[in-house]
Amino acid sequence: MPSLLTLHPRLTGLFLATTLRRHSSLSPLSRRLAFPISAAAARRQSSAASTQSLDTTPNDSPRPGRSGSLSSPPVYDSPQRIDVNPPKGTRDFPPEEMRLRNWLFDNFREVSRLFGFEEVDFPVLESEALYIRKAGEEIRDQDRGNRRVALRPELTPSLARLVMQKGKSVSLPLKWFAVGQCWRYERMTRGRRREHYQWNMDIIGVPGVTAEAELISSIVTFFKRMGITSSDVGFKVSSRKVLQEVLMCYAIPENLFGKVCIIIDKFSTFMTLFDFINAISGSDLQKFELPEVLVVNSKAKNWKQMEKIPMDEIKKELKAAELSEEAIEELLQVLSVKSLAQLEEKLGAAGEAIRDLKKLFSLAEKFGFSEWIQFDAAVVRGLAYYTGIVFEGFDREGKLRAICGGGRYDQLLSTFGGDNVPACGFGFGDAVIIELLKEKGLLPELSPLVENIVCSLDHTLQGAAAAVATILREKGQSVDLVLENRPLKWVFKRAARINARRLILVGSSEWQEGMVGVKILSTGEQYEIKVDELK
């Protein structure tokens, strides 16, 4: 779906939109008067924004000059109120939401540090050829050199590109992590948006399943820090090699393997969505864009009433992928297996899939997360590059989609023209975990925290107050400087709102003696102190 990708040249307009939305309780007249702007100014701002547009088709030539815009912006006779909501599927982060996001990201980074990982980052805008997608559509466009570009839908291909770029200048193994924004143009459900932030941890250069055990252990460590237990969350674990072994028995060509995995993953996603529908009320259903077949059948009481629809559909798609009836039946039987013992009965003990999975479950005992994981042959992960162990984090109440997921991708670099390098990793989005923490009542109350609020008692002393603020800031303390001549009642309210630790008052007589007044706001203690003795 072609889109006109406009990059904001400044953040001021976004701040204005957020402010307007957060003050929507103002009267219409107040809202119009709060931010007066002339029609000419509105046209200039609209024109300036259009200068950042990227070309959408290779045949369209940009106009001469810097703008490169393909069409003139609309001109209005009078100022038009903008839509103050962000684009569908995206979010603003006002201060209270930003505090929560920073808290979450700090925990991502701290867990990564505990496991010895180094942080990396990549461009949000990447070459479209870098991505192999299972479904949906990344948000894409063309740059002025007619190169196909995309807003990244995930981080792993960018990681692979960077590893290839570094080549032999880095020593293996690499333990890298990233926290970055990703974009996907697809249906939105609870915990899934068109943009989200994702925490990735990847290990490059370790062929054994010890790497997968380390990654799962890091996620478990994160959950424990959040107050989440194994009774709240679990991991479904399987291996792509299970499907490979089944397909090999029926001489299915290797080039069909990825297609079969995508079909199986769609079936698994279908089941997850149905569980979600059963967990919400009918009125809540209107908030989400769901496949029609799920909405129509949302009143089914259990899977027996729905079984024929997804099963018939999966058989139909597998048959279209040129699998025989016999192969389809065997494959579906294997996908229903929920224990390693059953899987071993079907596939035998000699295969790589069984060996890897047994090793992982053994390591889980040593790492201390055995109660968190369970075998489920239906977990394949939809991305085409996985080659071995795969896993998904899920909430045991079944109210949410997958919390996180990952696995081994030993051949990803070779698909980009590099050498095969053993690798595995996971992606962990910010949206679903926030929903889970809300469900469990585990979200922290994060208030703003400022160490000092500095206020002058006379407008002639505002420069002196600024000097005090500078002294404290140079000592590493946070300071909210009152920038206008305000009554003390207002200052105290401000101090309470920003959770200031102490109030520093600059008065005329005290300042003449090189002193300021200090009040510890939590205890009410008051004293005077020399400015150069402030700590």
Q: Where is the binding site for L-histidine, in residues?
A: 154-156, 184, 198, 202, 381, 385-386
Bin 136: left if φ > 0, else alpha if -120 < ψ < 50, else beta. Answer: left
- Which residue in this structure is represented by tokens 């059953």? 342
Judge whether 357 and 237 are in contact, CB under 8 Å.
yes
- CB count in 10 Å sphere of residue 195: 18
User: Of how many residues is the chain composed?
Assistant: 535
Query: Which contacts of 163-166 are long-range, i.e. CB under 8 A and separated by 24 or more positions?
Result: 163/204, 163/413, 163/418, 163/421, 164/413, 164/416, 164/417, 164/418
Coil, helix or strand for 450?
coil
- Which residue in this structure is represented by tokens 């700590």? 535
Cα separation, 286 vs 450, in Å, equals 42
Cα separation, 381 vs 438, in Å, equals 26
User: Residues marked as binding?
Assistant: 154-156, 184, 198, 202, 381, 385-386
246, two tokens: 């089944």
C-alpha to C-alpha distances, 311 to 271, 275, 322, 392, nearest whole angstrom:
11, 16, 17, 22
3-state secondary structure string, 168-236?
A: HHCCCCEEEEEEEEEECECCCECCECCEEEEEEEEEECCCCCHHHHHHHHHHHHHHHHHCCCCCCEEEE
382 Cβ partners below 8 Å, 6+ apart? 134, 135, 261, 262, 265, 266, 269
Spell out a b/e string for 438-453, using b for 16 or more CB atoms within 10 Å of the CB, else e: eebeeeeeeeeebebb
195, two tokens: 């943009």
Integer-rounded Cα Rg, in Å, for the chain is 29
Cα separation, 390 vs 424, in Å, equals 9
Judge whether 200 and 405 are in contact, CB under 8 Å.
no
Coil, helix or strand for 7?
coil
Report the run of H or E that residue 381 belongs to, with start and end.
Answer: none
Query: Which contacts of 516-525 are long-range, i.e. CB under 8 A and separated by 24 or more positions?
Result: 516/468, 521/495, 521/496
